[in-house]
Structure 1
Amino acid sequence: MRIRHITATAAMLTVVAGGLVATGTPAYAVGCAADSCYGKNPQDMGCAADAVTGDSITLPDGALVELRWSSACQASWGRASNVRGRFILYVSGGARQTQQLVFSGQRDGFSNMVRNKSYVDTAAACADISSRTLCTRPY
């Protein structure tokens, strides 16, 4: 009788312990990939979750322009902060895709996305200020 009790207890502990096995970080779902991201909002599509800054430049007036890239979405977008005055932020990427955002009063913002597939495409974020265009390095 004691052996059955020990066996039953061991089996129950195995089931309980099996439910407690740690798993890795759960994957998150993104709403688009590569070409299907074109023209879409990176935050709405979940692409900002894994985004990295590929390159950035500081404009003469102190505004920061960044090229953002998402591995999960295989897409890029431009982001600007500390903007003073009016300028145009744009990002160009794979398949000659371009998106832009006109700043006129707002201090921070980001463009919609363009395709930027790993090892296939590159993208750059640029700002048109006055009569000059300043761009990040391609990433």
Structure 2
Amino acid sequence: MARRKELSDELDPQVREFVELLRGVVDRAGLNPRTLADRTGYGRASWERYLDGRQLAPKGAVVALAEAAGTPADPLTAAWEPAERAWSRAELRNAGTQDALRIVGLKRAEPDGPPRPGGSGGARRWGLFVAGVMGVVIVVVGGFLLTGDGDPKPVSDSGRTPSPSASSPTAPPSGVLCGGAACTGRDAEEMGCSGDLVTTARSATVGTVVVEVRYSRTCGAAWGRIVQAAPGDSVRVTVGKTRHTARITAADDTIAYTPMIAVPDPARATACASLASGETGCTG
């Protein structure tokens, strides 16, 4: 197998240990991202991110890897759980830092502007404001991280755990990089819309090829896919007047999928296969 690049020094030790464990299983089984995509249902681009430590593999991908490699899943899933907690903690820290920078940027944009030359009152107020913002960020992030068992547990500014009925904006799952119209024309694997987040909404058989409408409710987008295909076979997905296509060109490829199209209801999407043999067919 080709030499992989070194893992980032910024990875949490538990995440690094988990990724190295995945790499060991993959190498011992003689697998690579392409064969993993064929055997697990998780795309080649996703496996490249998982094995490089750029994205944490979902639990479903870990179980699928164990099956593909012919190894017990329990050691992998046991290592995945602390890695998932560590990954979540790192995301919370990053979110806290971004919030602080955003607040500071808003303050700088206020109409009062910078302090007048020779005046020290404005500089003192600005210093107090920045200190206050950073203090709030430290308290909030600390509330997430230092809650006894290591799992993220958000606390309110009064120190009490929020009521389960309290409403808050729903954040996209880890690794999801687009939603709705922003997903149109993008690769489902690269945008994190596949894996555990995808279902087969409709399917049909054309010769020996299966053509599918794949749909991610989280991303609000659909795409077409063909499996058990051969070079020269292609797939097209259509939503209204928008369509995207993909074709198999490599001799050892059996799967092809189109870019995504944003659509709230997968019933509005149609996938069609055109085979090199001349056969065609659609999902209806």
Q: For 2:148, which of 19, 23, 30 is the aligned residue?
A: 19
Unmatched tracts of structure 2, length 5 or more: 1-145, 154-171
Q: For the Cα contact (< 8 Å) 1:97–1:115, is it kept in 2?
A: no
Q: Which residue of 2 aligns with 1:116?
A: 263
**Counterpart residue identity of residue 180, structure 2:** A
Q: Which residue of 2 aligns with 1:72?
A: 218
- CA offsets, 1:18-49, max 9 Å, x none? 4338669x932421112111111000001103
- CA offsets, 1:54-76, max 9 Å, x none? 0111211x111111000111001
Q: Secondary structure at the match of 2:214?
A: strand
Q: Secondary structure at the match of 1:40?
A: coil
Q: Percent identity?
A: 27
Give how far 1:53 is off.
0.4
1:86-101 matches, cutoff 5 A: 86-94=232-240, 96-101=241-246
Using the alignment, how far apart are the partners of 1:93 and 1:19 within structure 2? Answer: 49
**Counterpart residue identity of residue 58, structure 1:** T
In structure 2, relative to structure 1, the CA distance for the partners of 1:132 and 1:63 (3 Å cut) is closer
Higher RCO (CA 8 Å, separation ≥ 6 residues): 1
1:1-139 matches, cutoff 5 A: 18-20=147-149, 27-49=173-195, 50-60=197-207, 62-94=208-240, 96-104=241-249, 105=251, 106-118=253-265, 122-129=268-275, 133-137=280-284
Using the alignment, how far apart are the partners of 1:57 and 1:76 within structure 2? Answer: 16
Structure with more of its chain in strand, by fraction:
1
**Counterpart residue identity of residue 149, structure 2:** L
Using the alignment, how far apart are the partners of 1:41 and 1:81 within structure 2? Answer: 17
Q: How many residues align?
A: 117
Using the alignment, how far apart are the partners of 2:232 and 2:223 within structure 1? Answer: 19
Q: Under a length normalisation based on structure 2, what TM-score does the superposition of the two structures give?
A: 0.37
Q: For the Cα contact (< 8 Å) 2:236–2:243, is it kept in 1?
A: yes
Q: Which residue of 2 aligns with 1:5?
A: none
Using the alignment, how far apart are the partners of 2:152 and 2:269 within structure 1? Answer: 35
Using the alignment, how far apart are the partners of 2:254 and 2:176 within structure 1? Answer: 28
Q: For the Cα contact (< 8 Å) 1:39–1:113, is it kept in 2?
A: yes
- CA offsets, 1:86-108, max 9 Å, x none? 232000125x2211012244321
Unmatched tracts of structure 1, length 5 or more: 1-16
Structure with more of its chain in helix, by fraction:
2
Using the alignment, how far apart are the partners of 2:181 and 2:262 within structure 1? Answer: 5
**Counterpart residue identity of residue 262, structure 2:** R
Q: Secondary structure at the match of 1:19?
A: coil
Using the alignment, how far apart are the partners of 2:246 and 2:273 within structure 1? Answer: 10
**Counterpart residue identity of residue 238, structure 2:** S
